[in-house]
Amino acid sequence: MQNEVNGMVNIAILGFGTVGSGVAEVLTKNSGLIDGRVNNQVRLKYIMRARDIFEGPYKDLFVKDFSTIEHDPEVGIVVETIGGVGAALDYTTRALKAGKSVVTANKELVATHGYELLQLAKEHGVSYLFEASVGGGIPILRPLNACLAANEVDQVTGILNGTTNYILTRMIKAGLTFEQALKEAQDKGYAEKDPTADVEGHDACRKICILASIAFGRHVYPRQVPTEGITGVTLADVAYAESCNRKIKLLGRAVKELDGKICAYVAPHLIDAEAPLAGVEDVFNAIMVKGDAIGDVMFYGRGAGKLPTASAVVADVMDAARHIRSRKRVEWGPGGEDVTVSPEGVPFRWYVRCAGTAEKVRAAGLDAALLSRPGAPADEVAFLTRAMPRGELMSALSGMELGSLFRVLE
């Protein structure tokens, strides 16, 4: 049973960075509206910081020791915005065991330990909610869990990382270098503490794991999801994509195969310039879900940033507060090696840029559609293939020096 004292639900925020400070701001600024909608008084009681900076409007709320929060029976909901799987896992576990609901934006923790934390929440009759962990401010997990519950979901495909979408947009539209665009994303609070997680695709990987776990009902772990980021995307690739009326986007995908297994991966794709995902730019994210009853549905909005993310976190706090005497039911089954299938054997159309000539490509028997771009060096060739598994393509290309190899989304 969770804690509600004299008609009041007390909140503790762990971590006071971009998201944590946004949560404090929204809880404070919209306090009257939140109380009215929850039909209870929601009060921010503690903010836990790692640093000894105890000043500003919340100075009386700051604490440094988690046990103050853990052992305070008045605290009903803990908001974890620390990130990572070290202290965050420890505090989340202890909060759930102490009978407190936990709300988080931490996709790394949910993707790696979500199943066991949801089980722990169930055991202790409390909620573990993480809407902000995917798509920042976009409502996607709750709709997937509730509004689309009548559908057999076939696939989920999304632009899931705001930082990389921002970088690609700024490089293409404003001519910034990769480093300049990344610095802007960091200054705006979009990037992870270690931005390698963004640019190498690990953040998108964690998000597709969470989406797949909800959509298909079994835990999908990051190690089961082959992942590539955007560091291999060049302006030459962008020009070749444009020449065939396509755009390059980093996509996370989870597709249910005919045998019921899940094929999930993260990689740059060429997509039709007229497709809805092609128009998603800047820090925006979009997630397309295909269900057997609804067909295609797309969720779109700001995928990162202080207040958009806080919007989703505080909505979860409100949901947990409404369920303070019960539990908001979110769960999926355990993971396992039988849950997923590798994308290696699945046929895709490919975009290839490599050193070579059109003659060499023809000789390789690839039935390729050649592409061109202004200023291309004489020894560079780029083309689109028919649908084939990666292994077959790689054998045909043996002996040619590969530049880029991206899937084409049909």
Contacts with ligand NDP, residue ranges (CB under 6 A): 14-20, 48-51, 81-83, 87, 105-107, 132, 136, 189-190, 192-193, 304-305, 309
Distance between CA atoms of residues 367 and 378, nearest Å = 21
Residue 200 vs 237, nearer CB to ligand HSE: 200
Distance between CA atoms of residues 81 and 29, nearest Å = 19
What is the residue-wise DSSP string for 31-83? HHHHHHHHTSEEEEEEEE-SSS---STTTTTEES-HHHHHT-TTEEEEEE-S-
What is the contact mask toward ligand HSE in residues 143 to 182, using x (rule: CB under 6 A)?
A: ------------------xxx-------------------
- For residue 207, indicate whether it is catalytic: yes
Binding partner selected for residue 163 from ligand NDP, ligand HSE, none, CB under the kind-specific 5 to 8 Å limit: ligand HSE
**Cβ atoms 380, 373 nearer than 8 A:** no
What is the contact mask toward ligand HSE in residues 119 to 138, using x (rule: CB under 6 A)?
A: -----------------x--
Distance between CA atoms of residues 109 and 89, nearest Å = 7
Q: In the complex, what is the shortest distance from the CB of residue 53 to ligand HSE, in angstroms, rounded to a whole number? A: 23
Distance between CA atoms of residues 351 and 408, nearest Å = 6
Other Cβ atoms closer than 10 A to 122? 16
Binding partner selected for residue 253 from ligand HSE, ligand NDP, none, CB under the kind-specific 5 to 8 Å limit: none
Q: Is 304 in the site for ligand HSE (CB under 6 A)?
A: yes
Determine which residue in the list 191, 205, 312, 368 makes contact with ligand HSE, applying CB under 6 A.
Answer: 191
Residue 96 vs 191, nearer CB to ligand HSE: 191
Residue 42 vs 105, nearer CB to ligand NDP: 105
What is the residue-wise DSSP string for 218-246? B---GGGS-B--STT--HHHHHHHHHTTE
Scanning 4-12, 186-194, 290-298, 350-358 for contacts with ligand HSE by CB under 6 A, the matching segment is: 186-194
**Cβ atoms 254, 369 nearer than 8 A:** no
Q: In the complex, what is the shortest distance from the CB of residue 356 to ligand HSE, in angstroms, rounded to a whole number? A: 36
Joined tokens for residue 9: 């639900």
Distance between CA atoms of residues 77 and 46, nearest Å = 11
Identify the active-site residue in 207, 256, 290, 328.
207
Q: Is 190 in the site for ligand HSE (CB under 6 A)?
A: yes
Q: Is 340 in the site for ligand HSE (CB under 6 A)?
A: no
Joined tokens for residue 407: 């899937």
Binding site for ligand HSE (CB under 6 A): 136, 161-163, 190-192, 198, 203, 303-304
List, by residue number, the catalytic residues: 207
